[in-house]
Amino acid sequence: MGELLVRRAVRRSLAQVRHVTAVPPGSAAPAVERVYAQVERDFGFLAPPVALHSPAPVPLAACWTMLRETLLAAGQADRAVKEAVAASVSVANACPYCVDVHSGALHGLVQGGDALSIAADRTDAVSDPVLRKAAEWARTSADRQAAQRWATPFPAAQLPELVGVAVTFHYLNRMVNIFLRDTPLPFAVPAAARAATRRVLGLMMRSTTGRPVRPGGSLELLPAARLPDDLGWASASPTISAGFAQAAAAIDAAGRAVVVPAVRDLVSSRLAGWDGRAAGLSRAWADRAVAGLPEAQRPAGRLALLTAIASYQVDPGLVAELRRHQPGDEALVALTSWASLAAARQVGGWLWAGLRGAARSAEPASGDERGARVD
């Protein structure tokens, strides 16, 4: 009964998408329905972090492609390790919704309290050494200097998947912080019962982690594209490199359609000097940054900067300010998607800089099945 209640709560959370109206299944345009069908088939239910993109079909397909080909598709890295990376990146980005979902998924895969330790930001208490190493690496990915100091903690063959998971969740955390509430769990659950409910969520998520997902299934959704140089970490995997090339091109095109060059240049310049640290509670830095823009461009500039660097600071007032100049759900999703991926790509570059010089093709230690290929 508990699993049924949590499953219903997660499904109903489509109605809790904020700022935009998610397209309901069964009434969507063909491009959206194709993505929805894959999500239902491969994930087990229509995940709200994907569905929130539905007012903008191109970013929707791009988001799903990144998530599917890194986290879900069978490959070189164990799913539990990938879930540990997803949950730990979400902790780093203060995205409680994604922490609940992916620590729950990890709990459904492994025994013991390791998932709860990761969710509580206690990576030192994780007993499994492979999961602990993955969680520590992912947790520091939001710090430019720390990310670049890492020697590779994984076999080289796993790097496209694990860096891909980290980049995908640096993207998704920003979108979820803006468009979803803090948890997929029911509001009625008291704090004392939260851990138990998270375990029930883990049982539900176990059904999504046990199904085989064939690599490359999402590549039909978007046109082929060239892999940008900053995504070179993906090049060793044909499906992940193709998926990220397509997703980056699609989100860039959607961004160019709604974000003027001056705003794109402002965000790119700010990210180039960003060290990954949180911006704090004040938004004065964003106000100062957009002061040189024409007044009509400042709402987009402010929202794009905050999405990229401090998504937790985006509130209804910022959204309303943008809508006075750019009405419509599609423009809002396209702008925030572009800014989120710009920040995520920056983080991927830090990780790649730290890993590529030290990458090894060493086989995992004898008896360590987490490094084995998942067929």
**Domain range for 289:** 1-359
Q: Give a yes or no: residue 237 inside a domain.
A: yes
Residue with tokens 């949950």: 87
**What's the pLDDT score for residue 145?**
87
pLDDT digits (tens, 9 = 90+) for 121-134: 999 999 999 999 99
Query: 370 lies in a domain?
Result: no
- For the segment 308-342, what is each residue's pLDDT rounded down to a tens digit? 999 999 999 999 999 999 999 999 999 999 999 99
Please report whether residue 371 resides in a domain.
no
150: closest CA among 371, 359, 372, 365?
359
Q: Can you tell me the distance from the alpha carbon of 205 to that of 78, in angstroms, rounded to the nearest whole number?
A: 16
In this prediction, residue 358 carries a pLDDT of: 56
Instruction: Indicate whether 31 belongs to any domain.
Output: yes
C-beta of residue 206 within 8 angstroms of C-beta of residue 367: no
**Phi, psi of 171, rounded to the nearest 5 degrees:** -70, -55
Domains of the chain: total: 1
Asked if residue 53 belongs to a domain, the reply is yes
- Mark 338-355 as b/e (b = at least 16 C-beta within 10 Å): bbbbbbbbbbbbbbbebb
- Give the pLDDT score at 201: 63
Answer yes or no: is 367 within a domain: no
Q: Is residue 263 domain-resident?
A: yes
Supply angle C-alpha 39, 214, 225, rounded to 5.
Answer: 80
Structure tokens at 165: 């998971």
Contact 184, 201 (CB under 8 A): yes
Round to whole Å and give the CA distance between 289 and 310.
14
Q: What is the pLDDT of residue 365?
A: 44
Give the active site residue among 61, 62, 71, 98: 98
Extract the residue ranges of the chain whose pLDDT is less than 50: 1-3, 359-375
> Helix 57-67 to helix 30-43 angle, to the nearest 10 degrees?
20
Would you say residue 304 lies in a domain? yes
- For tokens 């360590």, what's the residue? 368
Is 95 among the residues known to form the active site? no
